[in-house]
A = this chain, B = another copy of it.
């Protein structure tokens, strides 16, 4: 009595009624809060047990956790406590825990282990996770660990490491199921019962020709709903998305999203099947790629709270120095108008407002453009239309803000000051709208990541234009001398 589409009458609630979210519907136990995070009280219980050196108590506390939660717990602890915890719960430190750990935390933990111990862990991992573990080590450690691996694992890992970072070749799993064209559904099931293991999950079976080239793919649910006698070549989908082994992870992620893939075949330069990518690995990439733009735009580099202090400093200070350069450019424009400011201090009071709102408007447009470029929505085919759209949004925004500040400045200072600041505001917000689209688009065409450097340029343009338009118009209007 399996059901496909259960017509569940009890569930039919009146069209208009809304179901309220009650707090007690949510995850909530003695260890997790409602949002499925470990409770601070639980984390400090572990902390106290570690401090007391009570390994038994630590073990009892951690034992009921899921591997992903153990990884979270390790990340939440102080750096000094992490190795201590790992040794107290050594048999709970499964490959799943290691695979779920934040890259920086894992690297740090691996540094405390011998090459042999790391190799033992790598052997238990899926090849793609083993690669991730080993690629983070420095070169000497990498070589030491590789030397300790079984030949088969070593071969898989070194073949992965031969591909550039963040490509399908690095990330793909070398565990997949591929069968020849002549098989029937029955043959396949018999084969899987004989040969398959329960260890490696797979979601589709690839059909390959004699040259190892994929010719089609069968989802497992198709196989399960089809009589034994049907030939796989009659069931399979011929039109499949193939991932070239050198494809960048960002493009892989976009492919999975665009075509709603669960898994996909990875092929080498000659089109032969060499691995598969599965969606559970790709979700991490999607989340990382979508989330990193906010960090890159703010100049926060990797922006991981587990990043070592020195790396966080060096990636962020670089952008602050760049920002220092652009701020100096903007302030040299102010210097041109020194006499005007000396005469009329109100100019110094009001000028940061024009620059600040312009910067904000530019950042809004830039964030929209960067996101649209990242999701392949803003392309050469519609750049002109989007530029025109953003320019109109900017004029509406500029008009509104100009009216507000113009009236206020007109009343507080002088009517002419109101006109000057309103005009400067419209000009600066319009320029911000254009720069917010053009700067990321230009970086993209130059094959640079538009998220990385757009912010510095957009801010420089809006700051400089804000000071120049406002002070320049004030001088032109005769409010102050040049």
Contact = CB atoms under 8 A, between A and B. Distances in A.
B174 A5 contact: yes
A162 B15 contact: yes
A45 B414 CA distance: 56
Interface in A114-159: 127, 146, 152, 155-156, 158-159
B221 A221 contact: no
A411 interface: no
Nearest to A175: B5
A379 B4 contact: no
A1 B273 CA distance: 14
Most chain B C-beta atoms within 10 Å of own C-beta, residue among A6, A244, A283, A381: A381
Interface string A1-43: 1111111100111110111111001110000000111111001
Interface in A167-207: 167, 169, 174-180, 188-189, 191-193, 195-198, 200-203, 205
A415 interface: no
26 contacts: A1-B179, A2-B188, A5-B127, A5-B152, A25-B245, A27-B244, A27-B251, A68-B260, A76-B381, A189-B189, A196-B221, A260-B280, A262-B279, A279-B279, A283-B286, A294-B370, A297-B298, A300-B367, A305-B389, A309-B392, A313-B393, A317-B401, A319-B364, A330-B356, A335-B349, A352-B463
Nearest to A127: B5
Interface in A368-424: 368-372, 374-382, 385-386, 389, 392-393, 396-397, 400-401, 404-405
Nearest to A336: B349
A1 B350 contact: no
Contacts of A261: 280
Contacts of A290: 286-288, 290-291
Determine the interface band of chain A, counting residues with CB < 8 A from chain B: 35 or more
A235 B351 CA distance: 71
A336 to B, nearest CB: 10
B367 A294 contact: yes
Most chain B C-beta atoms within 10 Å of own C-beta, residue among A12, A200, A262, A287: A287
A361 to B, nearest CB: 6
Most chain B C-beta atoms within 10 Å of own C-beta, residue among A5, A12, A14, A357: A5
Contacts of A203: 203, 220-221, 262
B364 A36 contact: no
Nearest to A379: B37
Interface string A51-90: 0000000000000001010001001101000000000000
A233 interface: no
Contact of A364 (B102, B189, B251, B300): B300
- Copies of this chain, tallied across the complex: 2
Contact of A4 (B177, B189, B380): B177
Contact of A221 (B220, B260, B364): B220
A49 B284 CA distance: 41
A299 B348 CA distance: 27
Contacts of A159: 8, 11-13
A320 interface: yes
A324 B338 contact: no
A365 interface: yes
A163 B15 CA distance: 10
B268 A279 contact: no
Contact of A196 (B224, B245, B248, B368): B224
A472 to B, nearest CB: 15
A434 interface: no
A162 B68 CA distance: 33
Contacts of A256: 283
Contacts of A268: 11
A363 interface: yes
Nearest to A102: B377
A440 B191 CA distance: 55
Interface string A237-253: 00000001111100100
A413 B375 CA distance: 48
Most chain B C-beta atoms within 10 Å of own C-beta, residue among A36, A72, A226: A36
Given A8-B159, A11-B159, A298-B366, 12 more contacts: A19-B162, A20-B164, A22-B246, A25-B269, A27-B244, A193-B225, A201-B221, A279-B279, A288-B290, A316-B364, A324-B401, A351-B352
